[in-house]
Amino acid sequence: MPHLRRRHPMPRFFFTSSTNSKIVRDEEGADYPNQCAALHSARLGLREMLSIAILDGRFDPDAYVTVEDREGNILETVRV
């Protein structure tokens, strides 16, 4: 029987976004292999939110997304 490697679950990260004074908290989170991958996703998400806001004439220079761990600790903040 082949040696089976034990698989560890990927860490779960949560995102909170703020644009135009509206704060949206991620209640479900998402699994990423590491913090770097979660941060990359946050950057892409912020870029998409800002693109939509610019097209709608609602650009917010104070917009941000935070990356949080399962315990709610803020690991990174991505700003415009």
- Residue 28's CB: how many other CB atoms inside 10 A? 7
pLDDT at site 9? 84
Asked if residue 5 has pLDDT above 90, the reply is no
**Segment among 5-19, 27-41, 62-76 with least mean pLDDT:** 5-19
In a domain, 22, yes or no: yes
**Quick check: is 1 in a domain?**
no
* Structural domain span for residue 42: 12-79
pLDDT tens profile 29-60: 999 999 999 999 999 999 999 999 899 998 99
Report the DSSP beta bridge partners of residue 74.
Answer: 68
What does the pLDDT read at residue 3? 56
> Which sign, positive or negative, has the C-alpha torsion 56, 54, 69, 74?
negative
Does the residue 7 lie in any domain? no
Q: Report whether pLDDT(10) > 60.
A: yes
Confirm whether 17 is domain-assigned.
Answer: yes
Per-residue DSSP letters for 4-69?
A: PPPPPPPPEEEEEEEETTEEEE-SS-EE-SSHHHHHHHHHHHHHHHHHHHHHTT---TT-EEEEE-
